[in-house]
Amino acid sequence: MSIKTKEQFDSFTKEFMASDAYRESIGFGICRVDRGQLDPQRVLQASFGLVNWRENHKSAAVLLSALKESGVALDPKASELVVDLDIGFINAALNAFAPFIDEAAGPKHQNVQVLLALAAIAEENGLDAGEYRAVFLFEDVAPQSVEAVYLKLHALSQGKAPLRSLDLSGAFGLLSNVAWVGNQPIELEWLRENEIELKLRGEYPAIDAVDKFPRYLQHVIPADNTRILDGSKVRMGAHLAPGTTVMPGASYINFNAGTTGPVMVEGRISSSAIVGSGSDVGGGASILGVLSGTNGNPVSIGKNTLLGANSVTGIPLGDGCIVDAGVAILEGTKVGVDAKSAEAIAAINPGFETAGSSPLVLKGVAFAGLHGVHFRQDSTTGQIVATRSKREVKLNEELH
């Protein structure tokens, strides 16, 4: 079928989307894959020029239709589809996209741009078998392929899916542990097999890292006002909201962790931890992750909260809190609160229970998620105490 007008495109996609062959995807994209030097069946990395996430369903329809037309069997029950692309697919898809080709530039019709780029590559060099793949995720279940893992990490890093919202079960098992030389992944076994030759010829590569995950900056372009002073500090799958700065001292942001607004990061945001707008993770401060010291509870830090240098936080904190430099607040830390402070904290945290003897001694977990709390160690007695912080707390509507 020849598609020449946008009306024809609409009819075409509407018809296909009503057919049994179509299923709505949660995410899709076309990627270039890096394969193992020794084992080409092993996909080491998937690079997406464009990631679609709960959007552009007509483009998804075009790609699925083109796959079908080029002979791919579309399994109606699979949670994901990962399939090699050939020139037949490209031509079929571009045929459907014909009315948009002239407009495809800059932010417009980027899925068409992807196909045009592929067509140009194919014309220049031919397509290497298995170098390009289409990836569709139909359900948010445990990913079944390296490509699916990368697509989900992209959705998180680009902020298209909220942190902690996706099923990444088994991702570590799918990804290969490789040597990263710039953006290129190399099998460790290949290095071993070629070590003697490479070393003696002076051709041994300069390896930046050995990891299953690539770095954020290998795949994601941050916002204009976001800074990452050392690319090794942010793993792919982290999300940095615009205006976030990651300093190179002791900082680190793991995958599925990050910021939801401008944050100064000089400490560690462990896996699943999230930090809110205007907060400051001081030099060497640690926000514990679900795998270490939080009883499996992911830690969220609110807005305008200050984690002092070398402090450690193992409980969620609300807005406008302060953890003093060097202070550790874990679920089990005993924290003293005098009557006046308890009252002031309760004034902005209606659920906070101040009944009982005064001064109170509460466990750290009793402060989970509270706003405007200042945790410090009394340097005359060594006691960890909580008072009402002097940082601004903007009360949310839902709070009262």
Residues recognised as catalytic: 266
Task: Tell me whether residue 122 is exposed, middle or buried, using C-beta atoms within 10 angstroms of its C-beta: 0 to 12, 13 to 18, 19 or more.
Answer: middle
Q: In the range 211-250, which residues lie near a second copy by CB under 8 A?
A: 211-212, 217-218, 221-233, 235, 247-250
Residues in contact with a second copy, shown as a per-residue x/- string from 281 to 320 under the rule CB under 8 A: -xxx-x-x---xx--------------xxxxx-x------
- What is the closest distance, in whole angstroms, from the C-beta atom of residue 71 to a second copy in the complex? 22
- What is the closest distance, in whole angstroms, from the C-beta atom of residue 75 to a second copy in the complex? 26
Contact 107, 124 (CB under 8 A): no
Contact 149, 174 (CB under 8 A): yes
Which residue from 21, 50, 74, 83 is in contact with a second copy, where contact means CB under 8 A?
A: 50
- Per CB under 8 A, does 334 bind a second copy? yes
Of 13-21, 41-49, 344-352, 388-396, the window that binds a second copy (rule: CB under 8 A) is 41-49
- Per CB under 8 A, does 356 bind a second copy? no
Contact 70, 92 (CB under 8 A): yes
- What is the closest distance, in whole angstroms, from the C-beta atom of residue 227 to a second copy in the complex? 5
Of 64-72, 265-273, 345-353, 391-399, the window that binds a second copy (rule: CB under 8 A) is 265-273
Of 72-80, 162-170, 210-218, 295-303, the window that binds a second copy (rule: CB under 8 A) is 210-218
Cis peptide before 214 (omega within 30 of 0): no
Sequence-distant (≥ 6) Cβ neighbours of residue 48 within 8 angstroms: 29, 30, 31, 135, 150, 151, 154, 219
Q: In the range 54-93, which residues lie near a second copy by CB under 8 A?
A: none
- Per CB under 8 A, does 48 bind a second copy? yes
Q: In the range 137-176, which residues lie near a second copy by CB under 8 A?
A: none
Q: In the range 380-399, which residues lie near a second copy by CB under 8 A?
A: 380-384
Contact 246, 234 (CB under 8 A): yes
The three-point CA angle 286-303-322 to 5° equals 55
- Per CB under 8 A, does 129 bind a second copy? no
- Per CB under 8 A, does 324 bind a second copy? yes
By rule CB under 8 A, what count of residues binds a second copy? 100
Q: In the range 361-380, which residues lie near a second copy by CB under 8 A?
A: 361, 377-380
- Per CB under 8 A, does 201 bind a second copy? yes
User: What number of CA atoms fall less than 13 Å from residue 104's CA on the CB side?
Assistant: 15
Of 10-18, 44-52, 68-76, 344-352, the window that binds a second copy (rule: CB under 8 A) is 44-52
- What is the closest distance, in whole angstroms, from the C-beta atom of residue 268 to a second copy in the complex? 5
Contact 370, 349 (CB under 8 A): yes
Task: Tell me whether residue 158 is exposed, middle or buried, using C-beta atoms within 10 angstroms of its C-beta: 0 to 12, 13 to 18, 19 or more.
Answer: middle
Please give the Cα distance from 241 to 223 (Å, whole number): 8
Residue nearer to a second copy on the CB measure, 12 or 283: 283
Cα torsion 119, 122, 123, 124: sign: positive
- What is the closest distance, in whole angstroms, from the C-beta atom of residue 311 to a second copy in the complex? 8
Contact 221, 138 (CB under 8 A): no
Contact 95, 112 (CB under 8 A): no
